[in-house]
Amino acid sequence: MSHRRIPKRKAVLAGAGAVGIAAAAVLLPHANASQSDSGADAAPRAMSAASAQDLLSRLGPELGDAYAGAYYDAGKKQLVVNVVGDDDAMDQVNETGAVARSVENSMGELKAAASTLAAQATIPGTAWAVDPRTNQILVTADRTVLGARWDKLESAVGSLGSGTARIKKSAGEFRTFLEGGDAVFGGGARCSLGFNVTTQDGAPGFLTAGHCGVAAEQWSEDANGAPIGTVQAATFPGDGDFALVTYDDPATQAPSTVDLGNGQTLDIVGVGDAAVGQQVFRMGSTTGLDDGQVTGLNATVNYPEGTVTGLIQTDVCAEPGDSGGAMFTREGLAIGLTSGGSGDCTSGGETFFQPVTTALAAVGAQIGSGAGGAGGGDGAGAGDPGAGAGDGGGAQDAGGANDAGAGDPGAGAGDGGGAQDAGDANDAGAGNGAGDAQDGGEDGFARRQG
């Protein structure tokens, strides 16, 4: 079992047991060295996702209102930056070696559209997030959105004007993935442990989903077992889906490690922001290890229990019991906590994650012994608000530059909120090595089999 406690209380972190995983873990070396940004080189250049993130963290804030999001093109290994109506800004982007793309919708317009959706279309079974690839808001409706609810959604989207938003139908049903997982049990529910942390008081603990934290106050590592941890803070629904649980035994050793299954683990070396186009891995107690791409940032999801804002949207599969499980990069950056979605690991679907950066900032914890925001500096320019999901706590908006869909990388967590949005910028790869890895799971983690 992945979350075993051994003498001296060494809790092996996160992710949950490896169910049906085929030897997952030959990790690529950290070979994504930053490349210099020569202003003299006006031709698009190939760069790693980490290098793209570093570039965007500087470039995004400089573009100001002309910046309209960004994403990492993993196939071409290029950073694509959206620019609204500014030839000088286009030239500035191209001179760095990134690819400037002229678009119609500014970040301000996309944020205003998201606010309209929040006011007119907060319908259970719907979600929306900024898609920097199309420069639109992608609105997703699950199979329960029918009749009058569908008409209301169509009307709200139509009121935004042509080219601002589009609707996608999902075959599944949005729900939290509360039941069925490996790691922790409480109140008759089962969830997955996300990442071990150290609280601001120096106590060992772990992060999991907020809807798990509100379901039970105490959690055990076995069904009907003795409690090992107590919930200290939980947010759900509202500005996120995260909870902090502290280990009842203060001698518990809680290493920053994710269990990949088959006896293999990955060290978590810091915290990063999600990025559209970035490859990420998700570990859950029900389905084990799987991977996919980030498809949207600052997503708003209208679950049956209520609306949650500020989430990361992906095409990574998940199932009940995976809630709270870790989402991370192959380099060992903690990115998110599994919240919910639609579909399963047979038919696919959409899955949403709580950004780790905002969860850590909210509960005052850090991953590791002294680098709560490791992985990224101050998030400057990173946290873009994210058109989509409301202001999610303010921090999200940090950095302004990376705004919604493409937030600047802001590498990391440092800034807490904003960084999270960095997502798009992150896009840039969020340090995640998105691009390189994206080409397949065979050179890194193997996907879940069966």
Q: What is the set of active-site residues?
A: 211, 241, 323
Closest CA to 438 of 292, 313, 250: 292
Could you give the 3-state DSSP secondary structure of residue 443? coil
Closest CA to 136 of 170, 169, 160: 160
> What is the crossing angle of helices 147-158 and 107-120, to 10°?
150
Closest CA to 17 of 223, 351, 286, 268: 286
How far does the chain reach from its first CA to its final CA, in angstroms? 19
Q: DSSP alpha helices (H): ranges in 294-369?
A: 356-363
* Residue 387, C-beta contacts closer than 8 angstroms, at least 6 positions apart: 107, 110, 111, 113, 114, 129, 130, 137, 298, 403, 404, 405
DSSP single-letter state for residue 66: G
User: How far apart are alpha carbons 350 and 142 in whole angstroms?
Assistant: 10
User: How far apart are alpha carbons 239 and 354 in whole angstroms?
Assistant: 10
Could you give the 3-state DSSP secondary structure of residue 10? strand
User: How far apart are alpha carbons 311 and 357 in whole angstroms?
Assistant: 11
Assign residue 79 a region: left if phi > 0, alpha if psi is -120 to 50, beta otherwise? beta
Closest CA to 9 of 221, 285, 225, 218: 221
- Cβ atoms of 423 and 429 within 8 Å: the answer is no
The residue whose two tokens read 């060494």 is: 10
Measured CA to CA in angstroms, residue 86 lies from 56, 168, 254, 402 at distances of 18, 31, 50, 17
> What is the crossing angle of helices 49-63 and 87-95, to 10°?
150
User: How far apart are alpha carbons 144 and 170 in whole angstroms?
Assistant: 9
